[in-house]
Structure 1
Amino acid sequence: MLVPYLGLGQSGKSVYKNLVTKKILLGSSSKKPEGIGYGYFINGKRVDKIAYDSFQGNSRYIKECCPCILQMYNSDGRLVNEGVRCTDAPVGWWKAYYTTGNLKESGQFKENDSGNWDNLCDRGYCGVKVGRWTYFDEQGKTLYSEDWKEGEFVRQLPEQLIPELWKVDFLLQGQNAKKLPLTLEQISELQIVSYYKNKIRPEPTIKLLIEASGHRPFVREIVFAELKSLDARKLLLASGIPADKQPRFTLEVFNSRDKVYRLFLNIVR
């Protein structure tokens, strides 16, 4: 289906024309042996095979969406969110809705005006907030707005009383640690820099996760001050996960709204 694109790009006009709209159902599916056949389920509810097979097409629809207007629905058929995407990367206008159907938030992500759709995230076109974002209550009243510039938070009007992180940097000796090889001992040397939207700035929570196939995940929750004394090698022993199982290490930072910032550590052995 072709529909006119009404979102506004960085220059005030959209670079996209006549985008296709694709609809997908959020959730999970499964099939279970029953007698000589199978029972089919979507989000825990029994469905027929036609509905099940249609649900399996979600991943194909997303892969074929570049760019398109992607609408996501819940199991009750209610629209959850919609916007311009290239696969799973937001690249244009965005709207999210309450279960009542009322608008919850609306805003704009940076449009890809280059015409090149390869390596979007590496080139700075992957979910980059720009312009004015507006948030509403369930009755449709405006709660507050935010201004963003090239993915950087500018201001919140009016400023909210709930502490909220908008970015977390993981640094090692001043360098971005996301792609750096680290030893277990260097985990305690990491510097975590938190950026808040307002003046209420409590200390976030940090979790270290150690995982490996066939083993129960090990989680240690700490505060910022404890990171410098963290002994990752001792925690690995406490996890019961053998070092030869190539355990995965992840740092998570939480804020009061449960948004999680993750750093998947590239541990060298």
Structure 2
Amino acid sequence: MKLIFFTCLFCLASAGFLKGQSSSSTVYKDLATKKFFAVSMMTRVVEGERIYIVENKKVDKLTYDSFQLARRNMENCRPCILKVYNGSNQLLREGVYYTDAPVGWEKIYYPNGKIKISGQYKENSTNDWGDLCTRHYCGVKIGRWTYFDEGGKQLYAEDWKDGEFIRQIPEQLTPEIWKMEFVFQGKDAENFPLRVEQISEIDIIPRYKNKAHAVLTVKLYIEAVGYRSFVSKYGVDEFKGIDTRKLLLASGIPMDKNPRFILEVLKGENNVGRLYLTIAK
């Protein structure tokens, strides 16, 4: 089976082009508007015949190829106003993107067409579109983000500054984590070479939007090519006491097979943080 994945935000198909701009204060001028449909796609071979599937429905090759060709429209959004629809032609979201990177205003919609969330990402005024994420221009929230109910009534707002959460107005009762930090000896543990026994020394720090806190679960995965994935589960405080050397032995994966260690933090069933560890040789 061959699966077609679009890894950043959504799978896309079918495009149209208009001219337009949503804000007179933006640094972008005369952006094209491109319409896409977010769909899942895959192919598989059944009894020697290749089957084409879009949105869990069998389609002919011509239809499938038309969705495939739409990938070029995402690549050519440099930047553009992107309008994303589902398979029922309902508008899901629209905003300013550079390929798959949000770089301007954004609106997300309810199925009834009412705005659910409205906000702004940092704009790129440099005219240099290389390494956007490295240069802190990819999906960086700024200013006020406003949340509405399905009737159009404002529920609450959030203030952001250069990707950092400032406050929630009014503060909500539901616990929300806006950032998960993994810290080792006071430094960001991402890409920090660690010995296996040092993994349990990582401090897992959730940054909440409000005073409401949640019960979190930590999962440690040990994986290697040709071996079954090994997973162990803990509370955040419990994690600090684990023996990762013993866990590696229990996994049955030899160190010379270059096992990969992954930390995942869950709130209920929802992933709220993930860290791919770099292990010192």
Scaled by the length of structure 1, what TM-score is found? 0.89
The code of the aligned residue for 1:53 comes to: D
> Cα–Cα, structure 1 residues 159 and 185, in superposed 2: closer, same or farther, change >3 Å?
same
The answer for the alignment partner of 2:119 in structure 1 is: 107
Q: Does the C-alpha gap of structure 1 residues 84 and 216 become closer, same or farther in structure 2, counting only changes over 3 Å?
A: farther
1:123 matched to 2:135? The reply is yes
| 1:80 Cα offset (Å) | 1.7
Matches within 5 A, 1:120-269: 120-255=132-267, 258-269=270-281
SS class of match (1:130) = strand
Query: 8 Å contact 1:163–1:256 — kept in the other structure?
Result: no
Distance 1:256 1:150 in 2: 29
Equivalent runs, 1:23-102 vs 2, <5 Å: 23-33=35-45, 37-102=49-114
Judging changes above 3 Å, is the alpha-carbon distance between structure 1 residues 89 and 267 closer, same or farther for their aligned structure 2 residues?
same
Deviates more, 1:142-151 or 1:76-85: 76-85
- 1:6 to 2:18 alignment: no
Q: Which residue of 1 aligns with 2:9?
A: none
For residues 22-62 of structure 1, the C-alpha deviation after alignment (integer angstroms, 9 at most, x for no partner) is 23332321223357753311121112222211221343322
- Asked whether the 8 Å contact 2:18–2:34 carries over to 1, the reply is no
Are 1:165 and 1:255, in contact at CA under 8 Å, matched by a contact in 2?
no
Query: Structure 1: 5+ residue runs without aligned partners?
Result: none
Cα deviation, residue 134, structure 1? 1.0
Deviation at 1:254, TM superposition (A): 2.8
TM, length-normalised to structure 2: 0.86
Which stretch shifts more, 83-92 or 257-266?
257-266
SS in 2 for 1:156: strand
Q: 1:16 aligns with which of 13, 28, 34?
A: 28
Query: What is the DSSP-based 3-state SS (H/G/I as helix, E as strand, rest coil) of the residue aligned with 1:61?
Result: helix
1:137-158, CA deviations, whole angstroms, 9 ceiling, x for partnerless residues?
A: 2222221111111111111111
| Aligned equivalents of 1:45, 1:58: Cα separation in 2 | 18
Counterpart secondary structure, 1:50: helix
Q: Which piece of structure 1 moves more, 254-263 or 168-177?
A: 254-263
Q: Number of aligned pairs?
A: 265
What amino acid does structure 2 have at the position aligned with 1:3?
K
Q: Which amino acid aligns with 1:29?
A: M
Contact 2:194 2:280 in 1 (8 A): yes
Distance 1:90 1:259, change over 3 A: farther
3-state secondary structure, aligned to 1:237: helix
Q: Is the 8 A contact 2:222 2:231 kept in 1?
A: yes
Q: Could you tell me how far apart the structure 2 residues matched to 1:216 and 1:77 are?
A: 41
Q: Sort the Cα spacing of 1:27 and 1:214 in 2 relative to 1 into closer, same or farther, 3 A.
A: farther
Cα separation, 2, equivalents of 1:208 and 1:174:
21
Which amino acid in 1 is paired with 2:138? C
Unaligned runs of 5+ in 2: 1-16
Matches of 1:229 and 1:261 in 2, distance apart? 20
CA distance, structure 2, for counterparts of residue 145 and residue 259 of structure 1: 23
| Alignment partners' CA distance in 2, 1:241 and 1:95 | 46
Letter in 2 for 1:118: G
* Worse-superposed segment, 126-135 or 239-248: 239-248
